[in-house]
Amino acid sequence: MQTEFDVVVVGAGINGLAAACYLQRAGLAVAVVERRNECGPFALTEDIFGAGVPVDTHAGVCFLTMSPVWADLDLDSFGLDLVIPEIPAGTIWKDGSNLLYSYDPAKTHAAFSRHSEKDADTFSRLVAAVQSNSVEILERVVFSQPSDEGLDYIWSLGELVGFSPADFKSMNAFEMVDLLYENERVKMSLLGGAAINTFGDVAEKGEGALMQLLAMTVTLGIPRGGMHHLVHSLVRCFRHHGGTLLFNAPVEKVTFAGGRPDGVVLSADSPYPELEIRARHAVNLHVSPPLALEMLGERRLEQADPGLWRRMKDWDMTGHCAFTSYVLFDRVPEWKSASWDPDVARCAFPLRAWDSWEHAKLSFQLAKNEELFGMAADVGEMYNLGAVDPTRLGPKGQSVVVYEVEYPVNLRRYGGVKAWDDRELTDRLHEAHVEDLRAMIAGFDERRVADSYTTPVDNWRRNPSAVYGHELGGDCSGGQWYQGRMPSRADIEGLYFSQGVWPASLTHLGNGYVTACAMGEDLGVRQQDWWTNRPAERFFERLMK
């Protein structure tokens, strides 16, 4: 058995795999070691109802469309088939109205006009200004290392939407939409879109403004058949180029020689007990900072790099974490708001927004105070993928709506993190989601077949790296934002990270990409004709078709 490689990647999350694919394709010998018996612990497609309906139980939409990875690794040829929905997203209110976003600007303008002509004009103008710069913005802000120049560039983007760098930098998302728009629905919809973005906290200065702006660059696709096909395509790509992937291989520790990491040792519990796997050039820890710290050894890191040790030791994983409800219907459900705009039936990813702009502002404070029920189901992401991908339907046409809400994880007022295992509390929260869906879906009770949910702690159980269920490798705000995130490249030679780094983890695979770039440069394999830095290129090609 081969136990010596150029690079060892710890953790077969989608970003770890993406990094591994780049390096393997660039000619290095790469091993990925994974604790679980499959890859992609948050890119899951599971038949949770046993009804033959594939449910994406965590990540529901694929942002790979924004990313250079899709084209560079040619994932289409490894079995990834992205459906590009005509109406990717929208907002649905309980009073029966909606606001839908289309890849056709005229359609989006018409949808906005139903709420406010003036706001429709403003949005069209701003989107055009931002989107015509999308490739550059994504390249410089999302798919590259944070830097001082990058930060200056970020603040300069305010000019695209009419603000000076100084104003943009000191503005949160609420202020920005308040200044730009007049209609409450429009404001709530735009804020909702930014809030689910993971490039920072909408309520924070600067971060919030950037999130609002980046929301206009976001594009998405739906992996036909289920999100897990993304994982399969990455695995096929990695193996096709000769990569080695070990399952059930929990890493006990990283080993060092001459001050640099030279491999990993697997746990005694693994089927390869205490196996040593050598890394000639580099180790990439694609695990969250608390786990990475354990593998590196606190004392060693404190001596080798006190700054990094302090950052990892104090790393905050307690932010917002997903509580997801799933409802199985006997067919693709019909939204009540179809009477407002029938296109809602074809919307893949509608959001449920707040009931008022005042409450929207309040709910962020409620979240910070961990007042669970004050904010229950305030803004929810809904995935109605049966509407755009017929392979998601069950044998009798059944379809699932996924409803995901981010909640604070600590719950001190309910007894701490373990409250997430309290069935009574979680049933109540799930019921609040169900109530919300009932208000938005016609014939809800007649059409509902079954329902279920997963809590942040369930997410932690399925993804050991996702401490507290955190999806982003740790909070992405304040001291952990942009340059405050984990470095891709540690000061210790040969040590790399791809979780907790900038940009925050998403299905655009930016974490893996940025770290692969750093490693590729350091190991002298970055120059490859297929390795572009052209985000969204394949998406625009597809859109033109």
Partner 1 sequence: MKGSNSNDYDVIIVGAGPNGLCCGAYLAAAGARVAVLEKYVETGGGLVTQELSGFRLNHHAVYMLLAELMPPVSELDLASRGVAFARPARQAAFLYEGGHSITLALDPAESQRSIEALSLGDGSRFRRMADEMAQMCERFLVPATYFPPIPPIEQTELLENSDELGKRMAAFSEMTPREVIADYGFEDPRVEAAFLYLACVFGLDPDEGGLGFLVPIYVHRLLNNSIVRGGSHQLSSALRRGLEEHGGDVITGCAARSLLTEGGRVVGVLAADGREFRARAVVSTLNPEQTFTGLAAGCELPVHFKQVAEQWEWEHTSMFIVNSGIVGEAPRYEGYDKSVDEALMVVMGYQSPEDVVAHYAAASAGEARADAGHASVPSLFDPLQSPAHVPLGPVHALRWETWAPYDRPWGEEAAGFAESCMQTWQRYAPNLAEANCRVRVHWSPHDIAEHLATMKRGSIKHGAYSSLQMGFNRPLPECSSNRTPLAGLYVGGASTHPGGMVIMGPGYNCSRVVAADLGIQLPWEEPEMVAAAKRSGYLSDEAVEEMP
Q: Does 59 bind partner 1 (CB under 8 A)?
A: no
Given the structure tokens 């701003």, which residue do they identify?
A: 126
Stretch that binds partner 1, among 105-113, 135-143, 266-274, 406-414 (CB under 8 A): 266-274
Tally Cβ neighbours within 10 Å of residue 133: 15
Tally Cβ neighbours within 10 Å of residue 257: 10
Compare residues 103 and 247 and give the one whose CB is closer to partner 1.
Answer: 247
Using CA atoms, how far apart are residues 409 and 399, in angstroms rounded to an integer? Answer: 29
CA of 113: how far to CAs of 8, 79, 110, 121, 379, in Å? 53, 40, 5, 8, 23
Residues 6 or more apart whose Cβ sits within 8 Å of residue 448: 327, 328, 329
Find the binder of partner 1 among 159, 182, 269, 541 (CB under 8 A). Answer: 269
Token reading at 471? 């999806």
Q: Does 249 bind partner 1 (CB under 8 A)?
A: yes
Q: Does 464 bind partner 1 (CB under 8 A)?
A: yes
Compare residues 125 and 461 and give the one whose CB is closer to partner 1.
Answer: 461
Q: Does 239 bind partner 1 (CB under 8 A)?
A: yes
Q: Does 307 bind partner 1 (CB under 8 A)?
A: no
Backbone angles phi, psi at 326, to 5 degrees: -125, 130
Q: Does 8 bind partner 1 (CB under 8 A)?
A: no
Stretch that binds partner 1, among 93-101, 179-187, 459-467, 521-529 (CB under 8 A): 459-467
Token reading at 65? 């469309």
Token reading at 225? 């058949």
Using CA atoms, how far apart are residues 64 and 536, in angstroms rounded to an integer? Answer: 8
Stretch that binds partner 1, among 167-175, 335-343, 375-383, 415-423 (CB under 8 A): 415-423
Given the structure tokens 């001082």, which residue do they identify?
A: 148
Q: Does 286 bind partner 1 (CB under 8 A)?
A: no
Find the binder of partner 1 among 93, 112, 272, 403 (CB under 8 A). Answer: 272
Residue count, binding to partner 1 (CB under 8 A): 37
Stretch that binds partner 1, among 126-134, 207-215, 356-364, 450-458 (CB under 8 A): 450-458
Compare residues 77 and 532 and give the one whose CB is closer to partner 1.
Answer: 77
- Under rule CB under 8 A, which residues in 110-169 are in contact with partner 1? none
- SS3 state at 392: helix
Q: Does 456 bind partner 1 (CB under 8 A)?
A: no
357 and 188 Cβ atoms separated by less than 8 Å:
yes
Token reading at 57? 């139980």
Q: Does 240 bind partner 1 (CB under 8 A)?
A: yes
Q: Is the backbone peptide bond immediately before 54 cis, with ω within 30 degrees of 0?
A: no
Q: How far is the CB of 409 from partner 1 (least distance, A)?
A: 12
Token reading at 14? 């989608």
Q: Does 178 bind partner 1 (CB under 8 A)?
A: no
Q: How far is the CB of 298 from partner 1 (least distance, A)?
A: 17
Find the binder of partner 1 among 77, 147, 164, 356 (CB under 8 A). Answer: 77
Token reading at 301? 């890191």
Token reading at 6? 């150029």
Binding site for partner 1 (CB under 8 A): 1, 35-38, 46, 48, 50, 77-79, 236-237, 239-240, 246-250, 269-273, 417-418, 421, 423, 454, 457-458, 460-464
